[in-house]
Amino acid sequence: MELAPCVPVEVSSEKHKMPESNVIDEEEEVWSEDEIDEADWNKYMTQVKESEGFDIDDFAPTIAKVAFALIVPLRDLKKQSQLMQETIISHSKDAIEMFNNLHGKKFEFVDVVKANMEGAAGIIFYITFTAKDADSKVETFQTKVFDGIPKKDGTPHVEFMFVRIKPTSNQGLSMELAPCVPVEVSSEKHEMPESNVIDEEEEVWSEDEIDEADWNNYMTQVKESEGFDIDDFAPIIAKVAFGIVMPLGDFKKLGNLMQEAIISDSKDAIEMFNNLHGEKFEFVDIVKANMEVVAGAIFYITFTAKDADGKVETFQTKVFDGIPKKDGTPHVEVMFVRIKPTSN
């Protein structure tokens, strides 16, 4: 089976340049298993516990290399992508609107102080922001927002787990707090519901029992297809089991940024395949894509490409699309690309 192993990819906004060397062995991990200092780990865990995820030092991304599903700080917000900035600001504005509705206040959003994120079948944002009241007094707020995998009809799935005035070190959770609220988000305006508030102690995901046959079927599909062919019951399982491979559904119903990322990753993958095997395939179309959240996302993409004679082949590529680097540039690694193997 022709296979191109893991290659770190430097991505520019003009063109996705694929390195022709520096190829990592297929069996090598995406992240090297560097030893983590015990003091750093203990400090990280203390910060998570004391700040509930809002105040994490910048050593967290290093820990995240070998321990997924941790809370990692998004460095300088102004160096993040425009979409990431807009998403965080939008969530902050929605959160302060919800706070006003629940408490009869008139705060106005001012600015984002910082934001952290946690991979969880989507992203959990921990956002610290400022807002001013009617007398222009500025308060610092915190909101925890689950930004999940889009629904089947392509609409966003957003839930505000809480919004509150940032507590002082001796106040704990006694501040005004708005508990978890599922939010229907439209592309025109983010309408905040004033009712349907879920109890603060209730889980974001209900602990529905998972059918054992479904789970075994899912695990069989992951093993046999290496993550590429997963039935659509995976998002249901993901409610209580994070870090699994989930189908993204109808590709054309995904957001523009997600579509562009998957197409770009596919084009990079076929370029790498050509460089490694002396071929001249050209990208044609996306067949389907699955995603696994791991301190970023791992995409399992099935796509088609045609050779110089116009013959179309189906390819598979596994791409790690990680947390942006310190300078704000994307961190992308094509783990492998290959012609899709036949069942035999």
**Partner residues linked to 74 by β-bridges:** 115
Per-residue pLDDT of the chain (344 residues; tens, 9 = 90+): 344 444 444 333 333 333 332 233 333 333 344 456 677 777 877 877 777 666 667 664 455 444 445 566 777 788 777 878 888 999 999 999 999 988 888 999 999 988 887 766 667 888 888 999 888 889 998 888 888 766 667 677 788 888 888 887 544 443 344 444 444 333 333 333 332 232 333 333 333 455 677 777 776 776 776 666 666 554 455 444 445 566 677 888 877 777 888 898 899 889 888 888 888 889 999 988 877 766 567 778 888 998 888 999 988 888 887 766 666 677 778 888 888 887 65
* Dihedral pair phi/psi, residue 165, rounded to 5°: -70, 135
Looking at residue 197, the DSSP 8-state letter turns out to be P
DSSP assignment of 256-288 equals HHHHHHHHHHHHHHHHHHHHHHT---EEEEEEE
Give the 3-state secondary structure percentages of the chain, helix then strand then coil, rounded to 5: 25, 30, 45
Give the count of beta carbons closer than 10 Å to the beta carbon of residue 78: 8
User: What CATH number is given for 32-65+69-205 in this structure?
Assistant: 3.10.450.10
Within the chain, which residue ranges are assigned CATH 3.10.450.10? 3-31+210-239+243-339, 32-65+69-205
The pTM is what?
Answer: 0.46
Specify the CATH class of 3-31+210-239+243-339 in words: alpha beta
